[in-house]
Amino acid sequence: MFLEDLKLINFRSFPELRIKSFNKINCLIGENGAGKTNFMEGVYLLSSNRGFRTGDRKELTYRNAEGFFIQGSFDGDMIARTITEKKKQLTLNEEAIPANKLRVYNPIVAFSPNDIFLATGSSDTRRRFFDAAIALRDHEYSDYLATYERALRQRNASLKKDPKHANLWNEALITSGAKIIEKRLAFVKLLIPKVQTLYAELAKGSANLKYFNNFKLTQNIEEGLKKALKDSSSDDLRRKHTTKGPHRDDITILINDLPAAKSGSQGQNRTLSFALKIGSVEIIEETLGRKPILLVDDALLEVDPSKRKRIFDKINSLGVQLFLTATTKEFFSFIDKQEEVNYIDFDL
């Protein structure tokens, strides 16, 4: 996909912003607080149902405005999003489109300095990454997640207030939960060789992934989850929450056969986060037959200068449209073909 123009009205720090043309490589420059990340988040919202920093309407809306409007042209198609207190509208060429189908139609992947937490952070951080990446290649996945999360909330509420009805939610948990695990396992299987190859190219050493399920998986995942819920029923009642299911699974990330969170240096873990994101981009393109747009928001600032060019060259070799941020034009000296770069100055 290729973003051709963008309009933001009452979004974040912009009462109105219109940019009518972009290149393959677009570098946003300006002091901190100038609006570079706000611009990135506006682009991202033309793929996702929430910004990569927040989904809160009030935080995304300029000052005291009632709501915001975002519109962008992608390969000749117009995508628009209107959000106010009373109205939520998402359209493709003026026709309504569900958010889960928009993600797959117009995949956009954001890189940020917080990506290091994919290696060092909680299991919840890793699950969110994998869930977001899978949703960009499979429009059904978001529906399975929504069904599972709704049933999980209801079951947990019943365990606290009305235990005898808690198991009424088991069927929805089992059906949707088994699909989630199935699709996660398939994605991890595809991602492992990519991460191994990418990490070896970008750094010294080896990297790997391991999916850890919190109950015994069998050939029939639904049956395995059904048995796990039954066997844990007493423990769930005592703890007042559901202890088994994909909401408790983890994907351990390894460097040189050791958990990255404990053994990896900051540099190794940052490089690993790029390998994970780039690998997911490759899988999305292979699945959809379309190239995602990449937003690299300050993610290269924390990278050792000796690796910065190597990582950029790898990302650029994907042939995707890129948006990158920094405070000065000089920061981007690692880009060889400067004549191909579109600089957008947010200090002007």
Residues 254 and 177 in one domain: yes
Q: Render pLDDT for 269-323 as a digit per residue (tens, 0 to 9).
A: 999 999 999 999 999 999 999 999 999 998 898 888 888 999 999 999 999 999 9
Contact 177, 132 (CB under 8 A): no
> Closest Cα partner for 323 from 27, 42, 114, 107?
27
Where among 258, 288, 318 does a domain terminate?
A: 288
Residues 79 and 219 in one domain: no
Residues 276 and 128 in one domain: yes
Residues 278 and 313 in one domain: no
What residue numbers bound the domain in which 282 lies?
115-288
Domain count, the chain: 2
Q: What φ, ψ does residue 26 adopt, rounded to 5°? A: -125, 120
CATH of the domain at 61: 3.40.50.300
> Closest Cα partner for 191 from 121, 111, 126?
126
Task: Give me the tens of pLDDT residue by residue for the chain, a chain 348 residues long.
Answer: 899 999 999 999 899 999 999 999 999 999 988 889 999 999 999 998 777 777 778 888 988 888 999 999 999 899 999 999 888 899 999 999 988 888 889 999 999 888 888 988 899 999 999 999 999 999 899 999 999 999 999 999 999 998 888 899 999 999 999 999 999 999 999 999 999 999 999 988 899 999 998 888 888 999 999 999 999 999 999 999 999 999 999 999 999 888 888 888 888 999 999 999 999 999 999 999 999 999 999 889 888 888 899 999 999 999 999 999 999 999 999 999 888 899 999 887
Residues 229 and 156 in one domain: yes
pLDDT of residue 214: 87
Residues 82 and 162 in one domain: no
Model confidence, pTM: 0.89
Residues 120 and 247 in one domain: yes
**For the chain, how long is the longest CA-to-CA vector?**
68
CATH of the domain at 142: 1.20.1050.90
Where among 288, 303, 332 does a domain terminate?
A: 288
Residues 87 and 197 in one domain: no
CA–CA separation, 268 and 273 (whole Å): 9
CA–CA separation, 160 and 170 (whole Å): 16
Where among 238, 255, 288 does a domain terminate?
A: 288
Residues 90 and 130 in one domain: no
